[in-house]
Chains A and B, each alone.
Chain A
């Protein structure tokens, strides 16, 4: 079968198996390793991508059903070769330890802030509930998101 998608702005057509997930398409077929695999059952949030702007667990999406929808992975955030200000905030505020949850965490955060640009800490925590982190205890992740929301790093 052919899966059609717009991947980080570029239209792609890829041969897939009927049972192949978007996660498998990205990692195994296309070698896009900025998407990680954590649980393969939609619980941990590690494999989050943006599908038409909404965060989804790519392990739960069948590739063959994409029908031209837009998929954004972490590398889709790059701005003129530099870091996105949210990425910069994560680095500056120590929100990254092992880094395995980081791609999914960044994408979920951005999608959330599109909907709710001025959240408080509690709202940030609620929004990130579906993205597990085992290293940081979340405090510095929330710090980083708050700093970005305040525009500390050049974000308007």
Chain B
């Protein structure tokens, strides 16, 4: 069986661009998103948030709000059974990270960022709930805050928490960097700045909670992590099996729905009132209060020999965590491990720090720390090539990692590295160069590669489970606790089961993302669901198949290994067939199960000492190369992207159309990061809390993205797939910066690359 489906030619459904069942539902709006849900007697909830980035709460009075007609309950910190929420390492793990990250569900005596939740209201209508929020009386005493990581780490800085402001630090030291730099033919120094950005999914955070007829507190919401039911239970101080989280199909996540959003509030309000409660954040609230992507300052010294081979990288990273830790320590770890790029670098020093400030908190977002570094290491490599007169493809070819190479952290690369092929194909996909349409318009091309881990850090001992079973009529049911964020997660599970069990896709029902009724499968984060839940469904389906074919072999005579399942039948080598319904009836008669629960365990390891480079951190990586053609108006600094190609080795494309969609969508998010997006914060105050001020790419801002899908047949996922959710967002900013230098000679080192910054670099502004 393993061999029979291992080669592409033998695959029937995997590898086909099949129509996704969820797409059919979505074009007729049959999909009930979290906010598309109502229950009889439902209350509406609203949150009171701090207007200040740093203040003491001197007085908090809720009497007037509580007394308002139609207000069911007003809650503050003292009403929360356990006011501490764990915010690190959610999901199906048995170990936690090096730090315990927590925050208060509702602020106690201090607020540490603008938008921090202070009180909750549930009322008969949303209008009443909002009125009651305004009737809560809070007296703040504004306290000094810190608003840059540099200021936060300076001596005498006001501490954001009781301890110092250094949240986490990672170091790598491999080889003799000073000596290698001294002997290098060329040394390039650069300092790069990346900005605060928002996930900006179109569906705001939302959910409805109720106490079900069995007494279980049930929360139906838009989340990437249904396992937060445990964290909610801790907050409510009820047993974990008395909280159920139902995850809806998401209107986008991108990491922003990895941390807890509305679920703890909804759990509290439904527990206190005994009534169903709905909470939907406004866009302003979402942009104001949700954790965002870390801004970084990245300092690089890169040395290369005369052949363009990098001999050393000295790297210093400083990131802004905002007011709470969330996943900052792990985001920084991803940066540290990927800081030298997908290249052979014999000597590497990385010193990475992340600091608390009174800015909006930062946490997971697509790319997760392996993204900011791309802008720096790909800008550096381009400058090395320019200094040596090498072309962008050649410099990457000579430096690319190969199987068997060891990363600075000590991890050996165990799968194929397609960087040279990806560079060539992305570059070629741009086609013939575009001629500049006017003398003041300059056209140029840039290339950028990246590598992004898929699957969780190995010391988290990740696993996923799935249940696959036939109904008596031969239709198939899949149950898997995998949230579907819109990338086709659920649909891919159907393809995998259909491949193994020979079931027509339209005869499969898939139930996902319910902490009570679907076997838990962990988070839809870290590009891990196709890898983890895909493997869980693959393993489960294969084990189920083995049991069923044992019965079929007895019915048909002969060996189970000679049987196949195809088109809802069992087929023998000599062409005889057995209808699946007949086989299932026989299974029922002889007592062989028609369903199976399986568990997939990812390769696990123990924490490594980064500094000494002692081993494996991630299961594997996905590699990519993007090429951009831009035109720059040298009178205004305006940049337009004329052409874009994005190549990734996905191992195996389970659904090529979904893979292309991930690549194109990720690339455009990356272009938004490179060219326009920025959460503007001044002294802790967010000035971009609407889509009129926080700009994301529109259809008219970006060109078509040509997705180049390379299938090396090497990856740890089902049918040798690699994760592709996050990787495509990494390279665009660097590809654009490199193209701008090719066009104009100006090097942009700060994101986003606005017309003003380009104009400044071109000397058009003083």
Return B739 CB to nearest CB of chain A, in Å. 18
Contact indicator B691/A136 (Cβ below 8 Å): no
Q: Which chain B residues lie closer than 8 Å to A36 at the CB level?
A: 33, 35-36, 202-203, 251
Q: Which of A34-57 contact B (CB under 8 A)?
A: 34, 36-41, 43-44, 46
Does A142 touch B at the CB level, under 8 Å? yes
Contact flags B650-684 to A (C-beta < 8 A → 1, else 0): 00000001101100111111000000000000000
A135–B691 CB distance below 8 A: no
B233-265 vs A, Cβ < 8 Å mask (1 yes, 0 no): 000000000000000011110100000000000
Q: What are the residues of chain B within 8 A of A37 when measuring CB–CB?
A: 35, 204, 280
Q: A99-B22, A134-B201, A142-B704 are in contact. Are A83 and B699 (CB under 8 A)?
A: no
Q: Encode A113-131 as 1/0 by CB contact (under 8 A) with B.
A: 0000000010011101111
Which segment, of A7-15, A61-69, A84-92, A147-155, faces chain B? Answer: A84-92
In the complex, whether B31 has a CB less than 8 A from a CB of chain A is: yes
Measured between C-beta atoms, what is the minimum distance from B509 to chain A in Å?
18
Q: Is the CB of A137 within 8 A of B664?
A: yes
Q: Are the C-beta atoms of A126 and B700 separated by less than 8 Å?
A: yes
Interface string of B26-37 (1 = CB under 8 A from A): 111101110110
Name A19-40 residues within 8 Å CB distance of B: 28, 31, 33-34, 36-40
Are B705 and A139 touching (Cβ within 8 A)? yes
Residues of chain B lying within 8 A (CB to CB) of residue A96 = 20, 22-23, 26-27
Q: Are B28 and A40 in touch, CB under 8 angstroms?
A: no
Q: Are A99 and B692 in contact (CB under 8 A)?
A: no
Find chain A residues with CB under 8 A from B251 CB: 36, 98-100
Report Cα–Cα, A41/B31, bound state, in Å: 24
Residue contact A78 to B28, C-beta cutoff 8 Å: yes
Q: Contact: A94 with B657, CB < 8 Å?
A: yes
Q: A96-B26, A134-B254 are in contact. Are A33 and B32 (CB under 8 A)?
A: yes
**How distant is the Cα of A88 from the Cα of B19 in the complex, in angstroms?**
10
Query: Of A128, A132, A138, which is in contact with the most chain B CB atoms at under 10 Å from its CB?
Result: A138
Residues of B within 8 A of A137 (CB): 661, 664-669, 697, 702, 705
Interface: B159 (CB within 8 A): no
Contact status A139-B704, CB under 8 Å: yes
A-contact 0/1 string along B7-30, CB 8 Å cutoff: 000000000010110111111110
Binds A, one of B65-73, B293-301, B483-491, B628-636: B483-491
Q: Check A132–B36 contact: CB distance below 8 A.
A: no
Would A75 and B202 be within 8 Å (CB), given that A40-B283, A98-B251 are in contact?
no
Cβ–Cβ contact B29 & A125, under 8 A = no
Which of B487, B667, B698, B704 meets A132, CB within 8 Å? B698
**A98 B203 Cβ-Cβ under 8 A:** yes
**Contact indicator A132/B657 (Cβ below 8 Å):** no
Any B CB within 8 A of the CB of A102: yes
CA distance A81 to B20 in the complex (A): 20
| Contact (Cβ within 8 A) A41 B691 | yes
Which B residue's beta carbon lies closest to that of A95? B23
Q: Which residues of A contact B202 (CB under 8 A)?
A: 36, 38, 44, 46, 98, 100-101, 132-134
Whether A5 is near chain B, meaning CB under 8 Å from some CB there, is: no
* Cross-chain contact A90 with B283 (CB below 8 angstroms): no
Query: Using Cβ atoms and an 8 Å threshold, which residues of chain B touch A43?
Result: 690-692
Chain B CB within 8 A of A106 CB = yes
Decide if B699 touches A125 in the complex (CB within 8 Å): yes
Contacts of A141 in B (CB 8 A): 699
Q: How far is the CB of A34 from chain B (nearest CB, A)?
A: 3
- In the assembled complex, the CB of A130 is this many whole angstroms from the nearest CB of chain B, namely 8
Query: Once the chains bind, are B700 and A136 in contact (CB under 8 Å)?
Result: no
Whether the Cβ atoms of A135 and B692 lie closer than 8 Å is no
Q: How far is the CB of A83 from chain B (nearest CB, A)?
A: 7
Binary contact track B169-208/A, C-beta < 8 Å → 1, others 0: 0000000000000000000000000000000111110000
Assuming A37-B35, A100-B33, A121-B704, is B203 touching A94 (CB within 8 A)?
A: no
**Is the pair B664, A91 in contact by a Cβ cutoff of 8 Å?**
no
- With A43-B691, A133-B202 as given contacts, are A97 and B661 in contact (CB-CB < 8 Å)? yes
Query: B24: nearest residue on chain A (CB-CB)?
Result: A91
Closest Cβ of chain A to B511, distance in Å, is 18
Contact between A138 and B19, CB atoms less than 8 A apart: no
Closest to A41 in B: B690
A99→B486 contact, CB < 8 A: yes
**Other-chain residue from B26, B488, B691 in contact with A102 (beta carbon distance below 8 A):** B26
From B659, which residue of chain A is reached at the shortest CB distance?
A94
Given contacts A94-B657, A137-B667, contact A100 B29 (CB under 8 A): no
Q: How far is the CB of B16 from chain A (nearest CB, A)?
A: 13
Nearest B-chain residue to A137, judged by Cβ: B668
Partner of B698, one of A41, A100, A121, A129: A129
Bound-complex Cα distance A46 to B690 (A): 14
Does B517 count as interface, using CB distance less than 8 angstroms?
Answer: no
Given contacts A74-B29, A99-B23, A134-B201, contact A94 B704 (CB under 8 A): no
B690 & A33 in contact (Cβ 8 Å cutoff): no
Instruction: Contact check, A140 vs B664: say whether CB atoms are below 8 A apart.
Output: yes
With both chains docked as a complex, state the minimum distance between the C-beta of B70 and any C-beta of chain A, in angstroms: 15
Q: Does B38 contact A (CB under 8 A)?
A: yes
CA distance A141 to B583 in the complex (A): 43
B696 within 8 A of A: yes
The answer to whether A33 and B29 have CB atoms under 8 Å apart is yes
| Complex CA distance for A133 and B697, rounded to whole angstroms | 8
Q: How far apart sit A130 and B401, CA to CA, in the bound complex (Å)?
A: 43
Question: What is the 8 Å Cβ interface bit string for chain B, positions 443-456, against chain A (1 contact, 0 not)?
Answer: 00000000000000
Q: A135-B661, A140-B660 are in contact. Are A34 and B29 (CB under 8 A)?
A: yes
Tell me if B434 counts as interface (CB < 8 A to partner A). no
Which residues does chain B contribute within 8 Å of A124, judged by CB atoms? 699
Bound CA span A84–B509, Å: 24
B273 interface residue per 8 A CB criterion: no
Q: A44-B202, A96-B23, A102-B27 in contact; A136/B250 too (CB < 8 A)?
A: no
Known interface pairs A37-B280, A125-B700; 15 further A-B residue pairs with C-beta atoms within 8 A, sorted by A's residue number:
A31-B38, A36-B36, A43-B690, A44-B691, A74-B28, A74-B29, A91-B20, A91-B27, A96-B26, A98-B201, A129-B700, A135-B252, A136-B661, A137-B667, A138-B664
* Residue positions of A touching B, CB distance < 8 A: 28, 31, 33-34, 36-41, 43-44, 46, 74-75, 78, 83, 87-88, 90-92, 94, 96-103, 106, 121, 124-126, 128-142
Q: List 30 A-B contacts (CB under 8 A).
A: A31-B38, A34-B28, A36-B251, A38-B203, A38-B691, A39-B283, A39-B691, A40-B282, A40-B283, A83-B28, A87-B27, A87-B28, A90-B27, A91-B19, A92-B19, A94-B658, A97-B665, A100-B486, A121-B704, A125-B699, A128-B700, A132-B691, A133-B202, A134-B200, A134-B696, A137-B661, A137-B667, A137-B702, A138-B668, A141-B699
| The 3 A-B residue pairs with the shortest CB-CB distance in the complex, in nearest-first order | A98-B486, A99-B26, A100-B251
Interfacial residues, chain B to chain A (CB-CB below 8 A): 17, 19-20, 22-29, 31-33, 35-36, 38, 126, 200-204, 249-252, 254, 280, 282-283, 485-488, 657-658, 660-661, 664-669, 690-692, 696-700, 702, 704-705
